[in-house]
Amino acid sequence: MEFIIKIHRETFKQIIDFANNNPFLECGGYLIGKIKENENQMTFIITAAFLDENQGTKNRYHFFELTRKYLEEYCKVHMKNYKVIGNFHSHGEYPAIFSKEDKIMEENSPNNFCHLIYSPKYEEINGEIHIDGKKTAKARVTFFGKNREITTNIVKR
């Protein structure tokens, strides 16, 4: 199975700007969109991001389950065709590589949930999908929407 994370350019620009507000601390939020699936491919189409005002530390960001549950309910009522399909966080001064702590967080997320890490310092993005149990998979990150200038690298590690 191939996994793809397609993020709208405007949404990605919002994440970049948000992370650059304080590039030395981690920040994060949730990703809203749709999942399209066929027998060979699962595509996470991200059209909006909830930017959490709670800042993390220099090397840690905490996701609040209550926030995700609130957003899920909000989407059911106000955005019927969309739902919370993932989360993102920044890595401040560090590369966009999934750490041991990131992997633990990933494994505790819902099944078929995408995770993005953005590094302001290295201007790179990395994506993975939590499949089931302790299984995760590398995702290819692509963009769609208005062709705005975004100079960011996609991590291929």
Q: Average model confidence (pLDDT) for the chain?
A: 91
Strand stretches in 10-62, DSSP E = 28-37, 41-51
- Given this model, what pLDDT does residue 157 score? 45
Supply the pLDDT for residue 154: 47
pLDDT confidence of residue 155: 52
The confidence score (pLDDT) of residue 148 equals 54
Q: Name residue, tokens 């699936």.
A: 37
pLDDT in tens, the chain (157 residues): 999 999 999 999 999 999 999 999 999 999 999 999 999 999 999 999 999 988 888 888 988 889 999 999 999 999 989 999 999 999 999 999 999 999 999 999 999 999 999 999 999 999 999 999 889 999 999 999 976 555 455 454 4
Strands 140-144 and 2-8: parallel
Helix (H, G, I), strand (E, B) or coil at 61: coil
Give counts: helices (H), strands (E), the chain: 3, 9
Provide the token pair at 103: 């992997």
Q: Where are the domains of the chain?
A: 1-52+126-157
